[in-house]
Amino acid sequence: MAPGKKLIKLALFGQPVKSSLSPTIHHAFAEQFDLDISYQLIETAAEGFPAALEDFRQAGGSGCNITLPLKQEAWRLAAQASKEVEQAQAANTLVLQPSSGWFAHTTDGIGFVTDLKRNHQVALAGRRVLVLGAGGAVAGILGRVLADGPQEVVIVNRNQQRARDLAERFNTLGNLDVTSWEELPSWGRFDLVINATSLGHHGEAPRLTAAVFAAGAMCYDMNYFKASLPLKALVESLGHRYVDGLGMLVEQAAESFFIWTGERPNSKTVTSLCRERVA
């Protein structure tokens, strides 16, 4: 580290985290501004998270990302949180405020919308949107999606009660409905399909048919790399545009980086770097 420069200590907490791209992403961001950072991968289950977070703070840690299965725990542990975090009941970014402790943010929503609109030129306003899944990944993006004014957002999920509970937290923000897989064909065609299920990690794809896609529709898969391949193959076989979630990963990281450092990095070059490294 150069004389007079302060080391910014960052980390990712979750389980598992050993294969995470976050260190690569944030070191690439830091290089753009000649900042010195360290970025640890700290693997912990929920029961060990409070102690691990305190150890990180005691060692000089000033900011961290949170991934599964700790996003709800991060929200609960934080001394303060953004309105978006309170509504999602989950946080993926913590920043240390010396006077009051950890402040919780969620950058998933802005990461998703930025990738969709800026990198793929897809607008949400006036569109019919279908969301597959009703877990934490959906909670993290739903507020931002509804804020952009889609005509309608429909959540389809196997567990109907879970989907209804999620919808109740967000239904004041826009036109939001819930359906089952059995009833989905009766809802017509959608301009954008967002996959937030984990089926791709098991080599499977959601049971989508051509009937759910409007002309010119796109499928946005929040998975990337190997987990994205089953749905990619299905959507492209149906003749529709498919985008994976790597851009969202980088864009949400860029927002976290801005929260910690006040600097906005060039995210497109880092997304390309990640694709090249994995390829």
Buried b (16+ CB within 10 A) or exposed e, 47-85: eebeebbeebbeeebbbbbbbbebbbbbbebbeebbebb
In single-letter form, the type of residue at position 84 comes to: E
Residue 231 in 3-state DSSP? helix
| Pairing, β 128-132 against β 101-105 | unpaired
- Catalytic positions, written as ranges: 71
Query: What is the distance between the alpha carbons of residues 264 and 36, in angstroms, rounded to a whole number?
Result: 16
* Alpha helices by DSSP H, 89-135: 108-114
Half-sphere exposure of 177 (CA within 13 A, CB side): 13
Query: What is the distance between the alpha carbons of residues 193 and 92, in angstroms, rounded to a whole number?
Result: 23
Site of tokens 């790597």: 246
Query: What is the distance between the alpha carbons of residues 246 and 24, in angstroms, rounded to a whole number?
Result: 13
